[in-house]
Amino acid sequence: MSLFRKKSLEGIMAQAADNEKGLKRTLGAGNLVALGIGAIIGAGLFVRTAAAAGQAAGPAVTLSFILAAVGCAFAGLCYAEFAAMIPISGSAYAYSYVTMGELVAWIIGWALIMEYALGAATVSIAWSEYLNKLLGGAVPYEWCHSPFESFTDTLGVMHSGIINAPALVILLLITLLLIKGTQESAIFNAIIVFVKVAIVLIFIAIGWQFIKPENHDPYFIPAGTAAVKDAAGKVIADYSGWNKHGWGGVLGGAAIVFFAFIGFDAVSTAAQEAKNPKRDMPIGILGSLAVCTVLYILFGHVLTGVANWKDFVDPEKGREASVAYAISTYMTGYGWLAKAVTIAILAGFSSVILVMLMGQSRVFYSMSNDGLIPKAFGDLHPKFKTPYKANWILFVFVGGFAAFVPGHVAGDLTSFGTLFAFVLVCVGIWILRVKSPNMERPFKAPIYPVVCSLGAIICTAMILGLDGDTLKAAFGWMAIGLVVYFVYGKKNSKLNKL
């Protein structure tokens, strides 16, 4: 059988229309925009902004956001066309199956695990960091960090992590909510989105008056900037690489903050649960992307203006809880805001985890229905009609990463998975326009050769902007995926039975 055998459009549309056996259609345009914002505004904004500024871009992190947003805009237009045209759960996996065949679909489905599952792990780690900040460091370092993390305190004592227990707790609570139902999860998410957007706007409005122009000069990290070491002499920031200073640093920063934009494509995984997907999916995808891009640029400008970018180099000083740090250190008289921001961020991170886990379970649901992974991933709860077994399996997998892997490792792998999915979606639209020009398209990406090409090129450039270790780990993960496909997926594919 061909490795590039495709699912028919007729078959996939029939699957989407089968509401009795499948997922419930309960989400409107407002729910979808809220889901997108719920996933987008989270660790990417509150943690990765500081990481990008301290590790690569400096104050020019605002330009990194703009570059990442441009790539997202092109990819978002392609996603919107696909989601309106093929309203089925599975996102880029489902689209690739129709346009580029089973092997490519498997590869992108495997890559999406890096996006959604590792994305949820990364945000749960950030949730743990902010909880400890709120509690004044009440959780011992050993019980809220990975075994691969350590630091030396001011007394010269080295502390090593054992397990990130708070991250496991929040993952368990969100898993239970997702099993309960999609509509309940959407209501919870909408409330959280309102709170965290309000907090972002308050920080921007109040923080603007505390901006110091000297913190934005120089705007780029200069070439030749010395590496930074911690108290034990370990290098925690090295600016010698081409993507660690100047305009190269802007691209490197864009690859880091790209994690902040992954939410809008998670909207497309809920297409099979949208009431009117042909109209609502483009609104949900593009609407959430537009709102968050504006907030990101303003937020990055204020954060690097209030605190110098060098403050965000050391995770023990200002990078892990950057917003609360900037407020408590430089915004005199607004200590209450630091605590309010931390509480809102904790709630906001919860909504991000919710959408990421929901997105991954829907990708698993589609892959299971196609026979590429075991049937258990597609089993629906008899009462709640949610893929509850997939949710429990995800809890074990994501919990393992959250408990034992450092947050920056999972975050960079998430960016790779997202960017890879975007590249294939952009290419897929071009292929489908050429091969099926007369197919009904409720939404069409404008000037598709230009949009598709630029989307694929910019996202590929940001992949190259990731550090070498991340790329090696990502390609290693993809190699494991190919082994799984040839051992299990290829022979169990339902296309074998046609």
Q: What is the pLDDT of residues 197-217, one digit of tens each?
A: 888 899 999 999 999 999 999
Return the bridge partners of 152, or none: 158
Using CA of residue 250, residue 252, residue 257, residue 261, what is the dihedral sign?
A: positive
**Residues 25-42: what's their mean pLDDT?**
76
DSSP string, 31-51: HHHHHHHHHHSSHIIIIIHHH
Q: Which residues pair with 27 in a beta bridge?
A: 274
CA distances 104 to 111, 112, 293, 420, 478, Å, are 10, 12, 30, 11, 12
Q: Does residue 219 register a pLDDT over 90? A: yes
Total residues found in the chain within this entry:
498
Q: Give pLDDT, residue 168.
A: 93
Confidence of residue 116 (pLDDT cuts 50, 70, 90): confident
State which amino acid sits at residue 83. Answer: A
| DSSP-assigned beta bridge partners for residue 228 | 237
Buried b (16+ CB within 10 A) or exposed e, 48-76: bbbbbbbbbbbbbbbbbbbbbbebbbbbb
* Cβ atoms 443, 80 nearer than 8 A: yes
Give 6 or 157, the one with higher predicted confidence. 6
Pinpoint the alpha helices (H) of 405-489. 407-435, 448-464, 468-484
Quote the crossing angle between the two packed helices 118-134 and 165-180, to the nearest 10°.
120
Within 13 A of 319's CA, how many CA atoms are on the CB side? 19
* Model confidence band, residue 117 (pLDDT cutoffs 50, 70, 90): confident
347/390 Cα distance (integer angstroms): 24
Q: Which residues pair with 411 in a beta bridge?
A: none
Inform me whether the pLDDT recorded for 171 exceeds 90: yes
Token pair belonging to 42: 């989270």
Q: What is the pLDDT of residue 197?
A: 86
Confidence of residue 132 (pLDDT cuts 50, 70, 90): confident
CA distance 52 to 57: 6
Phi-psi map region of 333: left, alpha, beta (phi>0 left; psi -120 to 50 alpha): left
Cβ-contact 61, 297 below 8 angstroms: no
Classify burial at 362, counting beta carbons within 10 Å of its beta carbon; exposed 0-12, middle 13-18, buried 19 or more: buried
Measure the N-to-C terminal CA separation of the chain; round to a whole number of Å: 11
Label residue 175 by pLDDT band (50, 70, 90): very high
Residue-level pLDDT at 17: 60
Q: What are phi and psi of 235, to 5 degrees?
A: -70, 120
pLDDT confidence of residue 20: 44
Nearest to 289 by CA among 300, 278, 281: 281
- Proportion of the chain above pLDDT 90, given as a percent: 23
Locate 93 and state its tokens: 């996996």
pLDDT tens digits along 314-360: 766 555 568 888 898 899 888 888 888 878 778 878 888 888 888 88
Q: Locate the domains of the chain by residue range.
A: 33-497
Query: How is residue 496 written in tokens?
Result: 């074998």
> pLDDT tens, 43-99?
567 777 888 898 889 999 999 999 888 888 888 888 888 888 877 766 788 888 888
Q: Decide if pLDDT at 224 tops 70.
A: yes
What pLDDT, on a 0 to 100 scale, did the predictor assign at position 347? 81
Per-residue confidence (pLDDT) for residue 232, from 0 to 100: 67
Residue range 33-497 forms a domain whose CATH class is: mainly alpha
Residue 228 DSSP symbol: E
Q: Span 373-400, mean pLDDT?
A: 89
Question: What are 107's two structure tokens?
Answer: 């590869």
Mean pLDDT score of the chain: 84
Element (H, E) at 159: strand 158-160
Angle at 123 between CA 158 and CA 162, to 5 degrees: 30
Which tokens sit at 264? 């809008």
Residue of higher predicted confidence among 383 and 456: 456
